[in-house]
Structure 1
């Protein structure tokens, strides 16, 4: 049996207990340490990474109340709140140990213990510890990922953030409006993190990337046999967000016949899968986003008026980057730190002159374009000096124009997006493409 990579700490004033527990647990875990004085616990934890602790409940002769163990458990919890603690106790202290479970202990073991039970308890504690550490890492990554857009000096963006903080704790439907690349996904995720549903699923559904014949099956799920390839029952993306948040991105892409079904779901909180007659109760919170003018879509009968009024209980317009220039240096520094670490170029810096270059550009692709600009600049930087490779902001130079079709296609896509201020529908129409085809090119060129 291969040992699990984990560090277990045993704390007991009885050397025989320490020896027997260590010998047994050393068979299963890569590192087992022992302390015979509880006063050394906090120093040891400050200097070592520990995955689980076996802690005796009595350390003073003549005092068998178990309060010593409770005291040191509480001290450990102050330093390491998520660290699993298994209490070792005699029969007379079982009632106290059970009470300790309610106050933070992960388990208790009776002396003399059964070796298999001891291993099972410690192994479970180690697994819990690992999950807690992974969750903490994920929270840190998410916090860092979101931080660059959530700290703002822009009056327009501060207004947005204040509104988000008011609406997030509620279950109100939110409609996020803004050009491509303004951070709608990040803000939707932030709303979820500030809500009471934060520990439940956050499901992002990009309607712009789904082919029209898959909309209903992907969103609402289907019953086995509902169509030729339906080999088994399938829960759709919305159903998988039960008790959490559904973020429907590019809501303007939803076909009219499914707009009716979505409206019914929002109103009645009941969902029926494709090919199914029964309805399923569903508890989710909806956030929507689009860069399209939905009022115009309503006037053109491309979007249901009643659905429009239902989804925009709170409507939030996200400013484009050229209208929040105060944040450009902060955003650029974030991306620079990210990519200098990724590409091992820590010597690169963003000086005042480079910051001014960034501020003076219009950024039709918004934050996403700034992100890609900094990454390209870092990758191609030479001689420890950062030179910004600014996106093309001029007409195509006929003399120097590349004859590479893919390069020309990328230039035309950028120009169409700039001309129509990030509006996908208008840019696609100008280029003679469908919205789905344009989205594929945006992904291809990382725009």
Structure 2
């Protein structure tokens, strides 16, 4: 049976529950993620497309009322009102189940569960999620797709939007270039939404987050027995995008030996899984993105010249935020409205002086950094007055007085990322860290 293209999130503080649920659901759905700490749910949902959430109801030892689950369900609903949520508990009281369903849960699972019942419940939730997305595709602007970035007064950004309108109806390969946080994902999604493939899958693959040992298996899939842990046939992420769009983010991180395989796929539209000689015809549209200078990578023999010319049929340079000063006020007010609602502080507003303060900062982290800045400011403000918690501009020569090791570590990581224009591999090498270690520290400091 072919896996359904869907992303399931499981949240439970029991690692055994996470493992068993993931192993079972991975047989049917293309992506299954796990969180053991409910406090990480909101951050995860703002960074990933999720089709259904499987949420435990009890996270604190000695507290078995299920109120934890109801609380986190409401937090999720504030961010993603139509995201289906299935609640799980080992304490299956009828009253609790009724309360959960009344408060917006799509279903209720009693642990230990019946595997077939679990699959049926999640599968129905995914179908509901897809139906909701189709109904709202053109009627509402969702927080998740961040369509606010498409409204612009910047001449540079308007030119990009004009290009997208012209290119989207075609199947031309598109290469999006720009710093981290400039909105490349949002623009790739827009290309898909304006294309003839809009009702088919949009599959985002972040090559910067995959370890080299997983590249080939995750992208191209594998045949049962292809390697030690290959217990069944697996359709890779590219194959799961059949008839839709594949967005390959951070394409500069793809190893040379897989660049050859990707080039063959783009040219011939045929895919071979790992350990399999059979070729499968594939109909997908490719969009690529990177913050790396690929021309330089070609001259240094880190990127194939023929692949470079294949992926950039149309090349778009996305302006950074410091070159979109006209848009900072619009973006800041969007984020303010979003977080006023989330944290229930409806009286906060940005006055002219605060807006000027935002415009005067260089925003090396671009739109993503502005988003985090406004959220922090809303959280730590009083009910009536917002106090901007501006980042320190790294271009300034201010003397460092805080000798705390963690604070110094964060500063060094920021400097390395700025020096290498967000390239994780080069920044990690400069810092003497592995890419995985740098990613952990970036998550720790919310960079």
Query: TM range, normalised to the smaller chain?
Result: 0.5 to 0.7
Q: Specify the alignment match of 1:33 in structure 2.
A: none
Secondary structure (helix, strand or coil) at the match of 1:362 reads: coil
Question: Which residue in 1 is equivalent to 2:430?
Answer: 430
Over 3 Å counting, the alpha-carbon distance change for 1:443 and 1:141 in structure 2 is farther
Determine if the alignment matches structure 1 residue 284 to structure 2 residue 271: no
Q: 1:298 is matched with which residue?
A: 298
Deviates more, 1:311-320 or 1:406-415: 406-415
Whether the 8 Å contact between 1:222 and 1:233 is mirrored in structure 2 is: yes
Q: State the 1:153 CA deviation.
A: 0.3
Whether the 8 Å contact between 1:192 and 1:245 is mirrored in structure 2 is yes
- How far the C-alpha of 1:396 sits from its partner, in A, is 6.4
Structure-2 separation of matches of 1:222 and 1:144: 31
CA distance in 2 between partners of 1:204 and 1:164 (Å):
18
Distance in 1, matches of 2:285 and 2:340, equals: 38
- Tell me what 2:385 maps to: 385
Deviation at 1:392, TM superposition (A): 1.6
Residues 208, 439 of structure 1: 8 Å contact kept: no
Show the 5 A alignment for 1:63-78: none
Tell me which structure has the larger Cα radius of gyration. 1
Correspondences of 1:179-218 after superposition (within 5 Å):
179-218=179-218
Correspondence list, 1:368-447, <5 A:
368-382=368-382, 384-393=384-393, 394-395=396-397, 397-399=399-401, 401-403=402-404, 405-447=405-447
Structure 2 residue 239 is matched with structure 1 residue 234: no
Cα displacement string for residues 47-101 of structure 1 (whole angstroms, at most 9, x for unaligned residues): xxxxxxxxxxxxxxxxxxxxxxxxxxxxxxxxxxxxxxxxxxxxxxxxxxxxxxx
What SS is found at the alignment partner of 2:213?
A: helix
| Contiguous gaps of at least 5 residues in structure 2 | 1-125
What is the rounded CA distance, in whole Å, between the counterparts of 1:346 and 1:138 in structure 2? Answer: 28
Report the Cα distance in structure 2 between the residues aligned to 1:402 and 1:422, rounded to whole angstroms. 25
Report how far residue 408 of structure 1 moved. Answer: 2.5
**Structure 2: distance between partners of 1:202 and 1:259:** 21
Equivalent residue, structure 2, for 1:80? none
What is the alpha-carbon distance in structure 2 between the residues aligned to residue 193 and residue 178 of structure 1? Answer: 21
Provide, for residues 87-145 of structure 1, a one-character-per-residue CA deviation record: whole Å limited to 9, x for no partner.
Answer: xxxxxxxxxxxxxxxxxxxxxxxxxxxxxxxxxxxxxxxx9999755632466254784
TM-score, normalised with respect to structure 2: 0.68
Q: Which deviates the most, 335-344 or 379-388?
A: 379-388
User: Cα deviation per residue 1:218-253 (whole Å; 9 max; x = unaligned)?
Assistant: 000000000000000000000000000000000010
Other-structure match for 1:253: 253
Query: C-alpha displacement at 1:445, in angstroms?
Result: 2.4
Return the alpha-carbon distance in structure 2 between the equivalents of residues 128 and 257 of structure 1.
38
CA contact (8 A) 1:256 1:304 kept: yes
**Which residue number in structure 2 is paired with residue 136 of structure 1?**
135
Q: Is 1:317 equivalent to 2:313 in the alignment?
A: no
Q: Report how many aligned residue pairs link the two structures.
A: 319
Unpaired stretches in structure 1, ≥5 consecutive residues: 1-126
Q: Distance in 2 between matches of 1:369 and 1:318?
A: 16
Q: For 1:292 and 1:380, how far apart are their aligned partners in 2?
A: 36
Distance 2:169 2:240 in 1: 21
| Matched residue SS, 2:248 | strand
> Which aligned segments of 4 or more residues in structure 1 are displaced greater than 6 angstroms?
127-131
Contact 1:208 1:436 (8 Å CA) reproduced: no
Q: Secondary structure at the match of 1:389?
A: coil
Q: Which residue of 2 aligns with 1:224?
A: 224
Give, in whole Å, the separation in 2 of the partners of 1:144 and 1:206: 17
1: CA distance between counterparts of 2:147 and 2:203?
A: 21
2:347 & 2:143 partners in 1: Cα distance?
Answer: 25
Gap change, CA 1:220 and 1:427, over 3 Å in 2: same
- Displacement of 1:425 after TM fit? 4.3
**Alignment partners' CA distance in 2, 1:225 and 1:402:** 53
Matching residue of 1:41: none
Distance change in 2, residues 1:348/1:402 (3 Å): farther
